[in-house]
C-alpha cells in the first residue's frame, strides 16, 4: 500500500498544496477516508487563496468526523464517465440533469438505513460476480484468495463514487474535475497494485486483459446468444478468438452504446475488417449471424445519432470511431 509521502506527491502534482488530514490509513477499508481528507484539503486551499486573512485549519478530529461520515455511504452506480462526473460535481442548478441529482440524494437518504445499505452492497456484489464469472472460472483461485480479489474489485468499483461524493460534500465543482479524475486514477492504481500482490503477476495480467476487452466480450456474448439456439453454436475457442479479432480490428478507443435507454448496450462496433478475419474462425452460418449483428449495430447507431440531433441539438456529435462499419486492420 502506498505511503503517505507518495500520496502527498501525487496531490502536489494536482496543485492541491495544503493537506488537512494527517497521513493515510494502512487498511483497505480506510482508503475512502484518506481520499476524503485530501478533497477537504483541496477545498480549504481554495478558500485560503481567495481570503485576505487565511482561516486556521480545522482540527484533526473535525477532519476525522467528516471522513467517517463520507466513507459510511456506499456507492450507487457501476461506473462514472465524463458526463457523470460533470453532473455529479457541477455547482449550481442544471435543469437537464437535476432529476438525476435528486435521485442520487434520495438514494443517499435511503441508504442511511443499515439494512438497505447492506442489501445494496449485496446487489452490487452479485453484479460483480456476473461480470467477472468467466474470469473467476479461468483463474481458478482458492476460495480465500478469490474472496480477497472480489473485495478489491468491489473497492475499485466504488472508488469513483467515493471520490466524487466527497468532492461534492466539500463543494468542489466542475472546475476541479481534472483533479478529481486524477484522484480516482491514483486510487484505482493503488488498488490494482494490491490486486497484483494478492493474486500474482500472471493472474493480474489475465484480469487486465479481461477488463480491457469488456466491450468486445459484450459483442461476442450477443453473438453467442444468437447462436445458442441454432444448430451451430459458438464454442469457447471460437468465442475467445472472436474477442481477439474484435479487439485487434476496433478503431482506437471505439466503443458504442447500441439499444434503448441511457447507456444502451455498451459493446464494440463490428468492422468490415472483423468480418473478413472472422471467416477463418466461424462457419458460414455463424458468419451470417455476425453480419446480421453488424447491420443491427449500424441501424442502432444511425437511430441514436438522429435522436441526439433531434433532442440534444446543442451536443457535439460523437466521433466517427464510435460508429460501426469500415475500419480496423
65-75 pLDDT, tens per residue? Answer: 333 333 333 34
Looking at per-residue confidence, does 234 or 8 come out higher? Answer: 234
pLDDT surpassing 80 at residue 224: yes
Concatenated DSSP letters for 202-232? HHHHHHHHHHHTHHHHHHHHHHHHHHHTSSS
Distance of CA 138 to the CA centre of its chain: 22
Mean pLDDT over the full length of the chain: 73
| Cα 223 to Cα 289: distance, rounded to the nearest angstrom | 7
Question: pLDDT: is 205 or 118 the higher one?
Answer: 205
Asked whether residue 325 carries a pLDDT value surpassing 60, the answer given is: no
Q: State residue 173's pLDDT score.
A: 75
133 touches 119 (CB < 8 A): no
For 111, how many CA atoms within 13 A lie in the half-sphere containing its CB?
21
Higher pLDDT, 63 or 248: 248
Question: Which residue has cell 481534472?
Answer: 178
SS3 call for 257: strand
What is the average pLDDT across 103-116?
A: 79
Give the residue from 93, 42, 47, 46 showing the smallest Cα distance to 66: 42
The distance in angstroms from the start CA to the end CA of the chain is 40
Which cell numbers hold the place of 121? 452492497
| pLDDT score, position 52 | 37
C-alpha 206/C-alpha 139 separation (Å) is: 8
Q: What's the pTM?
A: 0.61
Q: Is the pLDDT of residue 143 over 50?
A: yes
* pLDDT at residue 58 is higher than 60: no
Average pLDDT rounded to a whole number, residues 295-317: 85
57: cell is 485549519
> Is pLDDT at 169 greater than 50 in this prediction?
yes
* % pLDDT > 70, the chain: 59
Where does the pLDDT of residue 31 fall: very low under 50, low under 70, confident under 90, or very high at 90 and above? low
Residue with cell 466504488: 158
Amino acid at each position: 500500500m502506498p505511503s503517505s509521502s507518495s500520496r502527498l506527491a501525487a496531490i502536489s502534482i494536482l496543485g492541491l498544496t495544503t493537506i488537512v488530514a494527517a497521513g493515510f490509513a494502512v487498511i483497505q477499508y480506510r482508503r475512502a477516508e484518506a481520499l476524503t481528507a485530501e478533497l477537504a484539503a483541496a477545498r480549504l486551499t481554495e478558500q485560503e487563496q481567495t481570503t485576505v486573512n487565511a482561516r486556521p485549519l480545522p482540527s484533526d478530529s473535525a477532519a476525522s468526523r467528516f471522513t467517517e461520515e463520507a466513507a459510511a455511504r456506499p456507492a450507487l452506480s457501476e461506473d462514472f464517465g465524463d458526463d457523470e462526473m460533470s453532473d455529479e460535481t457541477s455547482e449550481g442548478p442544471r435543469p437537464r440533469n437535476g432529476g438525476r441529482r435528486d435521485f442520487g440524494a434520495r438514494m443517499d437518504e435511503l441508504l442511511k438505513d443499515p439494512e438497505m445499505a447492506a442489501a445494496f452492497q449485496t446487489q452490487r456484489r452479485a453484479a460483480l460476480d456476473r461480470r467477472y464469472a468467466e474470469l473467476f472460472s479461468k483463474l481458478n483461485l482458492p476460495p480465500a484468495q478469490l474472496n480477497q480479489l472480489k473485495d478489491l474489485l468491489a473497492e475499485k468499483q466504488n472508488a469513483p463514487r467515493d471520490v466524487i461524493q466527497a468532492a461534492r460534500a466539500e463543494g468542489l465543482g466542475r472546475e476541479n474535475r481534472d483533479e478529481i479524475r486524477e484522484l480516482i486514477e491514483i486510487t484505482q492504481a493503488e488498488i490494482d497494485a494490491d490486486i497484483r500482490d494478492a493474486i500474482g503477476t500472471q493472474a493480474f495480467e489475465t484480469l487486465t486483459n479481461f477488463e480491457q476487452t469488456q466491450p468486445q466480450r459484450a459483442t461476442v456474448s450477443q453473438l453467442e446468444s444468437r447462436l445458442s439456439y441454432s444448430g451451430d453454436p459458438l464454442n469457447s475457442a471460437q468465442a475467445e478468438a472472436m474477442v481477439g479479432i474484435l479487439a485487434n480490428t476496433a478503431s482506437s478507443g471505439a466503443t458504442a452504446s447500441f439499444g434503448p435507454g441511457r447507456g444502451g448496450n455498451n459493446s464494440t462496433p463490428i468492422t468490415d475488417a472483423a468480418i473478413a478475419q472472422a471467416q477463418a474462425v466461424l462457419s458460414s452460418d455463424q458468419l451470417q449471424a455476425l453480419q446480421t449483428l453488424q447491420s443491427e449495430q449500424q441501424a442502432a447507431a444511425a437511430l441514436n445519432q438522429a435522436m441526439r440531433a433531434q433532442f440534444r441539438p446543442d451536443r457535439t456529435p460523437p466521433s466517427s470511431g464510435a460508429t460501426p462499419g469500415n475500419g480496423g486492420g
